[in-house]
Amino acid sequence: MWILPAQELGDVDQALDRALTYVNGMAIYTLSPEERAAIHAVYQLYDALAGQPHADLIPAVLNAARQPLHSAYDQVQIGGRLASLREHILASTNQCPYCGFGEPRDLDHYLPRSVFGELAIYPRNLIPSCSPCNNAKRTVVPGLGAANGPSLIHAYFQELPNVEFLWADVSFEEGTLQVRYRIDADILDEALATKLQFQLDRLKLNDRYKGQINKFLSEQRAAMLMFLEIGPILFADYLERCAISLATSFGLNDWRPALLRALAATPDFCNSPSDYLGD
């Protein structure tokens, strides 16, 4: 959850030519040397800005090329001349970085192509995401217009501190395990904490995690109940070790290790996990 390695760019000029040329070789739009150089500059600036919006990402020299580049993105679908771009990005992960469990089926424009047309096919502006996250995120643009907000963190560029900032609060209410995630803002930079909390809220992750938590605990149930005989202290240690293992696979602040850390710190659960999980 949260971050992924940045996409490889390959031959940028070759990608631009493929985007702006029909399969039969006819040009859709021919870039001038000045426009081509400007696109390279925009891509480099995007990386330098870690994907954050800036007026220089929409240079006047690209006013004519912006719409053809915007429209070229439509060719990423199956059968389109840019289908390999979509396939490559979706194949880079098996879980949506925004939520940490959804199957990536969409490409999210971190900066929207409706504004930043020159970035419509830039691989590092395209985030593999599940449809629920993509649909929830799409109406918020960082720093732009009436719908602007702190935005989500950038899956390729955001630097996250090596601290536990995702916490799960657990309780047992009316015979049901209740889990609610939160961001520990006290240990983070204010801007980062705001983004992370915004992402948690905007994507309704606490609601969407409920089904995933039930599925995850169901898969862990047999192993957990085996520890009834070893006592709560060793059981809590087991949960901590499992959390460390999952953090190695999914990240320190993935929802799964955060859940196990919380359960390990809950004496009632460690004393009698069957009350929470069923016999």
Residue 142 has pLDDT above 90, yes or no: no
| pLDDT, position 144 | 52
**C-beta separation of 254 from 3 below 8 A:** no
**Torsion over CA: 252, 253, 259, 264 (sign):** positive
Mean pLDDT of 130-153: 71
For residue 118, which of 18, 46, 32, 47 has the smallest C-alpha distance?
46
Percent of the chain residues past pLDDT 70, beyond the cut:
95
Residue 272 has pLDDT above 90, yes or no: no
Mean pLDDT score across all residues of the chain: 91
| pLDDT, position 19 | 95
| pLDDT, position 146 | 41
| pLDDT, position 160 | 93
| pLDDT, position 230 | 82
Residue 143 has pLDDT above 80, yes or no: no
**C-beta separation of 225 from 260 below 8 A:** no
User: What pairing do the DSSP bridges indicate for beta strands 176-183 and 126-129?
Assistant: unpaired
pLDDT digits (tens, 9 = 90+) for 204-213: 999 999 999 9
* pTM for this model (two decimals): 0.89
Domains in the chain: boundaries:
12-137, 166-277
Amino acid letter, residue 174: E
pLDDT digits (tens, 9 = 90+) for 210-231: 999 999 999 988 888 887 778 8
- Regarding predicted confidence, which is higher, 131 or 279? 131
| pLDDT, position 110 | 93
Mean pLDDT of 146-172: 85
pLDDT digits (tens, 9 = 90+) for 248-261: 999 999 999 999 99
Residue 149 has pLDDT above 60, yes or no: no
The string of DSSP codes covering the chain is: ----PPPP---HHHHHHHHTB-TTS-BS-PPPHHHHHHHHHHHHHHHHTTT---GGGS-GGGHHHHHHHHHHGGGGSTTSTTHHHHHHHHTT-SS-TTTSSS---EEEESS-TTT-GGGTT-GGGEEEE-HHHHHHHTT--BT-STT-BS-PPPTTT----SS--EEEEEEEETTEEEEEEEE-GGGS-HHHHHHHHHHHHHTTHHHHHHHHHHHHHHHHHHHHHGGGGT-HHHHHHHHHHHHHHHHHHH-TTSHHHHHHHHHHT-HHHHH-HHHHH--
pLDDT confidence of 193, banded at 50, 70, 90? very high
| pLDDT, position 9 | 94
| pLDDT, position 78 | 82
Window from 32-36, 69-73, 89-93, 109-113 with minimum mean pLDDT = 109-113
pLDDT digits (tens, 9 = 90+) for 230-250: 888 999 999 999 999 999 999
For residue 238, which of 270, 194, 198, 204 has the smallest C-alpha distance?
270
